[in-house]
Amino acid sequence: MSGLLAPWTDGGATGSLHVIGASGAEGVALLLFLVDELGLQGVVAHDFSVDQRAFARSFRKANTAWERPEREAILKRLLRLPIELRLGDQYLRGLDDAQLIFASQNWFNYPSNLPALPDAVAAGAQLRGVVDLAMDLFPGVRVGVTGSNGKSTTAGLVAWMLRAALPQGSRLLHGGNDRDAQVALADLRGASSADRLVWEVSNRHLRDRVVPVDVGVLTNITRNHIEDHGSFEAYVAAKARLLLGTGPRGQAVLTAGDPHSQELLPSVREHVGTVWVAGAPSDEPEDGSVWLDGDAVLLRRPGASGVESVGDASTFTLPGAHNRQNLLSAVAGAVAAGAEVKALEAAWSRFPALPGRLELVAEHEGVRWVYDIQATTAPAAEAGIRAIGGDRTTVLVVGGADKGMDYSGMAEAAGRHCRAVVALPGTGSDAFLAAAPELPRVLADDLDAGLAQARGLAQPGDTVLVSPGCAFFSSRFVAGRNFHGRVRALLGTA
* 264-297 residue pLDDT tens: 999 999 999 999 999 999 999 999 999 999 999 9
Among 356, 358, 363, 318, smallest CA distance to 487 is for 363
Alpha carbon distance 261, 150 (integer Å): 14
Reduced 3-state DSSP string for 389-429:
CCCCCEEEEECCECCCCCCHHHHHHHHHHEEEEEECCCHHH
Instruction: Check pLDDT > 70 for residue 470.
Output: yes
CB 307 within 8 A of CB 339: no
Buried b (16+ CB within 10 A) or exposed e, 182-210: bbebebbbebeeebbbbbbbbbbbbbebe
pLDDT of residue 176: 83
Is the pLDDT at 88 greater than 70? The verdict is: yes
pLDDT tens readout for residues 424-441: 999 999 999 999 999 999
Q: Report whether pLDDT(226) > 90.
A: no
Judged against a pLDDT cut of 80, whether residue 251 lies above it is answered with yes
Q: Rounded distance, CA 420 to CA 443, Å?
A: 11
> Burial level of 429, CB count in 10 A (0-12/13-18/19+)?
buried
Is pLDDT of 456 > 90? Answer: yes
pLDDT of 459 strictly over 70: yes
Q: What is the pTM of this model?
A: 0.91
What was the pLDDT predicted at 281? Answer: 97
Q: Strand, helix or coil at 224?
A: coil
d(CA 243, CA 260): 13
Q: Which residues pair with 85 in a beta bridge?
A: 45
Calculate the alpha carbon distances from 328 to 302, 323, 332, 435 in Å: 15, 9, 6, 32
What is d(CA 445, CA 428) in angstroms, rounded to the nearest whole number? Answer: 14
Q: How far apart are CA 407 and CA 301, in angstroms?
A: 38
Confidence band for 482, pLDDT divided at 50, 70 and 90? confident
Residue 288 near residue 300, CB atoms below 8 Å: yes
Contact 421, 414 (CB under 8 A): yes
pLDDT digits (tens, 9 = 90+) for 21-57: 999 999 999 999 999 999 999 999 999 999 999 999 9
Look up residue 114 and give its DSSP letter: T
